[in-house]
Structure 1
Amino acid sequence: MQSLSISMLTVCGISELPEQKERAVTHVLSILDPDHPDPDAFSAYDPHYRTILRFHDIINPIDGMILPQPEHVEAVLRFGDDVAAGKVERAEGHLLVHCHMGISRSTAAMVTLMTQTNVDENEERLFERLLEIRPQAWPNSRMIAFADDMLSRNGRLVDALRRHYGRQISRKPEFAQWMKELGRGREVEMAV
């Protein structure tokens, strides 16, 4: 993302994809459940560079589901490298990251990409910027832990995530109940 001028960062869910087609999207990272069909919305987009990853939005093993793995986060970072290398030559770029709801996997991927690109930026500021992009962000903690390690943040990204969860619960207390119902109570317990 350094050789191109990525002037716009967007995170959304599948239902919001049609709204993005008029926004000159140049790069797309799609994160889908393994059995979900490819969204039709992309056929209406201008030409763009797209990577598709398939795994479930879980943090603990569940039979029949694919847990986020290090190789998934490595693929996010490869996507970031491809964007930085200018696989799509444009004067300016618009990066769109989506998952099913635009809350967890996509926000984890977006903060990973922002961390990769902004190596000197403070982790707290990265999460502040993430909230400016997607106010309902609740990044998948497993993905963030892998990113923290791969990007040599020495636990600082995970610590900032804990504080982010705490702020999200303070802002919208229902987040705590939602995450517990989704089997993500450990993330609620992480909140500082």
Structure 2
Amino acid sequence: MSRIIVCPLHDVSGLVQINRPSHVVSLMSPTADLDIGLADGQGEHLDLRFNDINQPQDGLLAPSENHIRAYLDFLDRWDGSAPLLIHCWAGVSRSPAAAYIAAVVRHGIGSEHDIALTLRAKAPYATPNRRMIEIADNLLQRQSAMIVAVDAIGRGSDTAWGSSFSLSGR
């Protein structure tokens, strides 16, 4: 069974060494410095840069359809034989959204609600970036099932940093 690992930036290098993911996704702000300790040939890396916002704001870059298309294309190249590791700055919004999207893609239509509930159980603080979910829902033609499921679990508990957790990628 494939595994999707989610974490904040400060946990990445240790989790890369322990879990040896074949694919790593970085979801950081456009100006953030990034060194995740991924050695050459250690895995495929997708570095997407946008701010953790749900609506366009002056001076900030919102997640776009191009970002989510690139992410979905990256997921198509992940065969699940080794873990997928996803991180953002704090591990609270962008990376849980990306993990939710990956799990829904792997589990298929009809899995949206159960995966949202699993996400909430594993990460009570997670507040998945709604714009990322909306774009993915549209691109995956889920007729708002992903949006409804994530809205149903509501905002997570307040925290400065998320903890590492994993979801089944099936």
* Residues 140-174 of structure 1: per-residue CA shift (max 9 Å, x gap): 001101111111111111111111116x3xxx3x4
Q: Deviations over 1:64-85 (max 9, x none)?
A: 111111111111101111114x
In structure 1, distance between residues paired with 2:64 and 2:19: 32
Q: Could you say which structure has the larger radius of gyration?
A: 1
Q: 1:12 aligns with which of 7, 10, 17?
A: 7
Are the counterparts in 2 of residues 14 and 39 from structure 1 also a CA contact under 8 Å?
Answer: no
| Paired residue secondary structure (2:61) | coil
Change (3 A) 1:125 1:146: same
Cα shift at 1:46: 7.3
CA distance in 1, matches of 2:123, 2:58: 31
**For residues 100 and 144 of structure 1, what CA distance do their matches in structure 2 show?**
18
TM-score, normalised relative to structure 1: 0.74
Which runs of 5 or more residues in structure 2 are unaligned? 161-170
Number of residues of Structure 1 aligned to a counterpart in Structure 2: 159
Q: 1:100 aligns with which of 62, 69, 89?
A: 89
Shift of 1:129: 2.9
Structure with more contact order per residue of length (Cα contacts < 8 Å, sep ≥ 6): 2
2:70 maps to 1:70: no
- Counterpart position of 1:52: 47
Structure 1 outlier segments of 4+, above 4 Å: none
* Structure number with higher helix proportion: 1
Higher mean Cα deviation, 132-141 or 61-70? 132-141
Q: Indicate yes or no: 2:153 matched with 1:164.
A: yes
Q: TM-score, normalised by structure 2?
A: 0.83
- For 1:38, the equivalent position in structure 2 comes to 34
User: By how many angstroms is 1:115 displaced?
Assistant: 1.4
Q: 3-state SS of the aligned residue for 1:28?
A: strand
% identical aligned pairs:
28
